[in-house]
Amino acid sequence: MDVTRIRARVSELLAEYRIPSAAIGVLSDGEITDFAVGVKNIATREPATTDTIYQCGSVSKTWTALAFMQLVDEGKVALDEPVRTYLPDFRVADPDVSAKVTPRHLLNHTNGIEENYGDPGEDDDVYERMVENIAGACQVHPLGHTHGYSAALGYAILARIMEVIDGKRWDDIMKDRLFDPLGLTSTSSRREHADQNRAATGYLIRSLEEGPILSPLGHLPRSFGPGGNVNTTARELLTMAYVFLNEGKAPNGTRIVSPGIIREMTESRVPVPDPYMFGPEWALGLIVCDWHGQTVYAHDGSAVSQSARLRILPESNIAVSMLANAGPRDSFYRKVFNEILADLGAVTIPDLPEPDPTLALDLSRYEGSYERPGTRYEVAAERGKLHLKFTLNPMEAQLLNKPEQLDYELLPISETHFLMPSDDPLEDPQTVAIYDFKNGAAQYLHTNCRVNPRVNEEDAKMHVMAVSTISDTDGFWDSLKKAYGQLPKGAKWTLAVASTDGTKAVNVVIHDSIDGVRSFFEDHAGAFATTEYFEADAANAVGLPTK
């Protein structure tokens, strides 16, 4: 690999995308080559180096899966035994799921349990509390019915199983089972344990003109630990990837897992409804990609303002890692990795498919609302074309400097798949699956690996206005930020505004009843405000009530 040329090309791309830095590693035939470009901190202009530590976001799931599979290797856990075998008090809203969900369902994201775990805090019992908090969590989809990515909950349950079996906290388990045996000195599972003198600072990029701005959120909550909080370097991420290319052995000769476990992790797969954006199948802690007929294993990660990519190519005996302190941008990763892979004579990343203009679809089959807690998509036909509309919550829109209502045209690739281009120069095209037809209507929308079931519009919903007199402004709005992603199934938050002096707030929530909104609202914000609740006119749910 021509490192000098690749480094120069990465430097050009960083400037084009306004990303402050990237650290890149290439494992080829057992040898690692790594380099870094850019600055790890814009304020200090300190350059990124191969020792710079980045947050690898959801690539943490591959680390956790590998450690969990050690327990399987040792006969302490069985993939298809119910979770209750190891956590006897495990319970969700559906009794059948409570009794039947298995570690395999959690590893491959087919469990369907809502990410409704409340605020479990930042203490050592965080994963125990998450398991306790989901006793009332409903199903996004039936157990095993489809793939739907779990950002935090699924792998937190796996972490709790590990804690019960090993008798220690997940962070210690990861160090004892993986980090130390692999000989890693820069990898940790908590931000407090990462060397802050070597840690990259994360940035948001809201426009190319503005460039990177310091992220107001420096890290994910501890609840994301097993699914998102591993910190590492590009080289040490490849040390883990080495295990998958060498039948379970580390570069130092230590056996991490048996060859059979590597086969189980890579060959136990479920289909992904949207096969184009990431890959057509999901294995145990790994995405399975098809690059021009070659199987490639992968995982991506995003930790608010840092991003990670890992690709493992068994047929070429190559792995590539990239960590950056902004992002993620799909086109940036494709350009960088394709430069490297082409230089090595390896297969490159396929482009997204082109839309098929000859398809004549019955657009009414796709129209409707699709949602999961905190997220709602509206699919509607307008002048013979299908559109997807997505409402950001007001705080997220302000943070990203975007309009609250986003509108995308969906261009058909097939009867169930669509290309979703964007007019925003900071957004790369994505793909969407709308599928599983029942009574002539699609039941699920799958994008960015997340699944969103169709909303039964026949369910009666009420617009409820909550008018609050605020006693603690910071506490009130912080509590609402947390509450936004924990709305009950079918509920929708349509408005959140404050008076100019910050003493009053009006929120409008669509839910089953005033009592339902009152209970939800008081649980989250009751300590910070006195609130009155009114039924609002659905057509004009923003006017203050008269008394």
Measured CA angle at 485 (ends 479, 487), to 5 deg: 95
- What is the 8-class DSSP label of residue 487? P
Coil, strand or helix: which one is 225? helix
Residues 6+ apart with CB under 8 A from 539: none
Q: Please, where are the H alpha helices in 175-230?
A: 225-228
pLDDT of residue 453: 96
> Would you write out the chain's pLDDT as a tens digit for each of its 547 residues?
899 999 999 999 999 999 999 999 999 999 999 999 999 999 999 999 999 999 999 999 999 999 999 999 999 999 999 999 999 999 999 999 999 999 999 999 999 999 989 999 999 999 999 999 999 999 999 999 999 999 999 999 999 999 999 999 999 999 999 999 999 999 999 989 999 999 999 999 999 999 999 998 888 999 999 999 999 999 999 999 999 999 999 999 999 999 999 999 999 999 999 999 999 999 999 999 999 999 999 999 999 899 999 999 999 999 999 999 997 799 999 999 999 999 999 999 999 999 999 999 999 999 999 988 778 899 999 999 999 998 776 667 777 777 878 899 999 999 999 999 998 888 999 999 999 999 999 999 999 999 999 997 655 467 788 899 999 988 998 888 878 777 776 677 877 888 878 889 988 888 877 878 888 889 889 999 999 988 765 433 333 333 3
Residues 6+ apart with CB under 8 A from 209: none
Structure tokens at 207: 């426009």
Structure tokens at 165: 């079996």
pLDDT of residue 458: 57
Any idea which residue has 């980090």 for tokens?
179
How far apart CA 29 and CA 242 sit, in angstroms, is 10
How far apart CA 24 and CA 22 sit, in angstroms, is 6
How far apart CA 56 and CA 22 sit, in angstroms, is 12
DSSP code per residue over 376-427: EEEEEEETTEEEEEEEPPHHHHHHHT--SEEEEEEEESSSSEEEE--SSTT-
Sign of the Cα torsion 184, 187, 192, 196 reads positive
pLDDT of residue 243: 98
Peptide bond preceding 328 in cis form (omega within 30 of 0): yes
Any idea which residue has 């690539």 for tokens?
59
Residues 6+ apart with CB under 8 A from 133: 116, 117, 118, 120
* Residue 430 CB neighbour total at 10 angstroms: 19
Structure tokens at 513: 């009843």
pLDDT of residue 203: 96
Q: Answer whether 453's CB lies under 8 Å from 371's CB.
A: yes
How far apart CA 156 and CA 225 sit, in angstroms, is 8
pLDDT of residue 346: 98
How far apart CA 181 and CA 252 sit, in angstroms, is 9
How far apart CA 481 and CA 476 sit, in angstroms, is 9
Which residues are bridge partners to 302 per DSSP? 307
Q: Answer whether 451's CB lies under 8 Å from 444's CB.
A: yes
Question: One-letter amino acid identity for 410?
Answer: L
Residue 472: alpha-carbon gap to chain centroid: 31
Run of H or E residues at 286 = none
- Count the helix, strand and coil residues of the chain and give each as a percent rounded to the nearest 5: 30, 30, 40
Closest CA to 220 of 305, 131, 157: 305
How far apart CA 320 and CA 313 sit, in angstroms, is 9
* Residue 362 CB neighbour total at 10 angstroms: 10
Q: Answer whether 432's CB lies under 8 Å from 377's CB.
A: no
pTM for the complete prediction? 0.85
Closest CA to 176 of 98, 294, 67: 67
Q: Answer whether 452's CB lies under 8 Å from 377's CB.
A: yes
Distance (Å) of CA 247 to CA 25, 106, 285, 287, 429: 21, 23, 16, 18, 36
188: left (phi over 0), alpha (psi -120 to 50) or beta: beta
Structure tokens at 339: 């430069």
Closest CA to 436 of 413, 416, 414: 416
The phi, psi pair for 480, rounded to 5°, reads -70, -35
Task: Considering the candidates 11, 28, 58, 471, report the single residue annotated as catalytic.
Answer: 58
Is 369 known to be catalytic? no
Sign of the Cα torsion 245, 247, 250, 253 reads negative
pLDDT of residue 536: 66
Q: Please, where are the H alpha helices in 167-307?
A: 170-174, 225-228, 234-245, 259-267
pLDDT of residue 539: 35
How far apart CA 269 and CA 292 sit, in angstroms, is 19
Distance (Å) of CA 57 to CA 152, 260, 304, 341, 442: 11, 27, 8, 24, 32
Measured CA angle at 332 (ends 385, 12), to 5 deg: 130
